[in-house]
Amino acid sequence: MKVKLGHIELQNPVIPASGTCGFGREMSEWLDLNGLGAIATKGTTREARYGNALPRIAECPAGLINAIGLQNPGVEEVIRHEMPELRKIYRGPVIANVSGFSIEEYAYVCERMDKETDAAIIEVNISCPNVHNGGMAFGTSAEAAAEVTRAVKAVTTKPVYMKLSPNVTDITAIARACVNAGADGLCLINTMLGMRIDIRRRQPVIANRYGGYSGPGVFPVALRMVNQVSKACPGTPVIGCGGVSSAEEVIEMMMAGATAVEIGAANLKNPMVCQEIITRLPEVMNELKIAHLQDIIGIV
């Protein structure tokens, strides 16, 4: 089940997605973290953020909408406390997810994370739809995405993966711009922009009005975009994300072109889902006569 993200080997391709496992320690009460392929930490900004007003979650028939708003303790606290605490209980690769509201903030946080020895990969979120004047504002323009990529690569030595937004007309244009600007890899997709209305109150369910839609309903969209991007950027490793909740869907995502797969909304419904997927993967591989997962990446 081993796969290679660039020069980094993962014992399996399953990764809890940023924002769905805190900083890892939160999941350790019920899950053996060392069975995971890697861990993507909660999105980190320069300053501490409380996030958006409540309520922040709205359920949907095929997923959920969230507008958490990048709640986090800030990069200095993450480096001082969260990363060392995670390393005490987890030996595998850590993917440090970074967010920002300006190119300067992205560069600052990435430069600080680059000095953090416990971070193997820096995942740069230019696709968060839940904050104003940040995140997705950079991920919906090829020029802005490239500018963030160049700024981050200028101050880092670690592999940089740009996390892309599905809320665009042509995701391959954004992906190519990031790769041409120096990105070592890509992660997609982040959530799609959605809304729910409380018809009795005649108000949006979420205080932020709109939020990121995730869950099984977005899987076919994520699969299509991963396939498009992997073909548009050959040789660039892709982390697939979006609605994955089973071992079969991990295989499907890898056949579409993903080297590794992040599990997001499914973690919130079932905190054991990553372990269940990892346990089930060898059975599915046997059923499909797959000897090595690395062999099926991008075969479709």
Is residue 35 a contact partner of residue 28, using CB atoms and an 8 Å limit? Answer: no
pTM, two decimal places? 0.96
Q: Say what the pLDDT of residue 274 is.
A: 97
Q: Say what the pLDDT of residue 103 is.
A: 93
Q: Residue 229 above 80 pLDDT?
A: yes
H/E stretch holding 204 reads strand 203-204
Is residue 192 a contact partner of residue 171, using CB atoms and an 8 Å limit? Answer: no
Active site residue 233: no
| DSSP per residue, 229-266 | HHHHSTTS-EEEESS--SHHHHHHHHHHT-SEEEE-HH
- Taking only the tens place, the pLDDT of each residue in 136-180 is 678 899 999 999 999 999 999 999 999 999 999 999 999 999 999
Contacts of 112 (CB under 8 A, 6+ apart): 75, 76, 79
Q: Which of 21, 128, 187, 241 is the catalytic position?
A: 128
Q: How far is CA 69 from the centre of its chain?
A: 15
Q: Residue 30 above 90 pLDDT?
A: no
Q: What is the pLDDT averaged over residues 240-257?
A: 98
The model's confidence at residue 131, banded by pLDDT at 50, 70 and 90, is low
Q: Say what the pLDDT of residue 135 is.
A: 56
Query: Which domains, and CATH codes, for the chain?
Result: 3-52+67-194+213-296 (3.20.20.70)
- Taking only the tens place, the pLDDT of each residue in 77-124 is 999 999 999 999 999 999 999 999 999 999 999 999 999 888 999 999
Is residue 230 a contact partner of residue 188, using CB atoms and an 8 Å limit? Answer: no
Q: Say what the pLDDT of residue 117 is.
A: 85
Q: Residue 205 above 60 pLDDT?
A: yes
Among the listed residues 114, 116, 95, 117, the one whose alpha carbon sits nearest the alpha carbon of residue 154: 114
